[in-house]
Amino acid sequence: MIAYVTVGADDIARAKRFYSAFLPDLGYELEEGPAGLSYALPVRPGQSVVPPEFYVKLTFDGRPASAGNGSMVAFEASSQKQVSALHAAALLAGGSDEGQPGFRPSYGPHFYVGYLRDPQGNKIALFSSNPNEPGRDG
């Protein structure tokens, strides 16, 4: 199981503006500290598995942060409408578009996804695969 994901950022304030535009709407709570940002889903009473946390930090070696070629972090939304709204909010908060929300021919019929780059260049996906919503073929 994945325990946490970390992305580097050279400008924590700029990264906070971007990630705070959509992660709280997905249920993530922000904790700030001297090392950077920590976004975590709340642990419910009796929950045995703790969902992975998402960290945004300055690099440990002091070199400029860079995006991993081929790496991406995906966040699940509850609906297609939420994917579209959060994608738009993230763009307004300093992200760049890597693919407008919609269906993709190579994915399942209910996989609705939008792609972004954060201000540092990290690739982010926002998706919903809610079977109760219209699919690609319907």
Distance of CA 93 to the CA centre of its chain: 13
| Bridge-based pairing state of the strands 96-103 and 36-40 | unpaired
Distance CA 18, CA 37 (A): 12
- DSSP per-residue codes, 33-45: ETTEEEEEPPPPT
Quick: pLDDT tens for 89-127. Answer: 999 999 999 999 999 999 999 999 999 999 999 999 999
Digit-coded pLDDT (tens) for 46-98: 888 788 999 999 999 999 999 988 899 999 999 999 999 999 999 999 999 99
Structure tokens that stand for 65 in this block = 């942060």
Q: Which amino acid is at 97?
A: D
pTM of this prediction exceeds 0.95 = no
Q: Which CATH superfamily is domain 4-60+68-128 in?
A: 2,3-Dihydroxybiphenyl 1,2-Dioxygenase, domain 1 (3.10.180.10)
User: What gap in Å lies between CA 119 and CA 15, rounded to an integer?
Assistant: 7
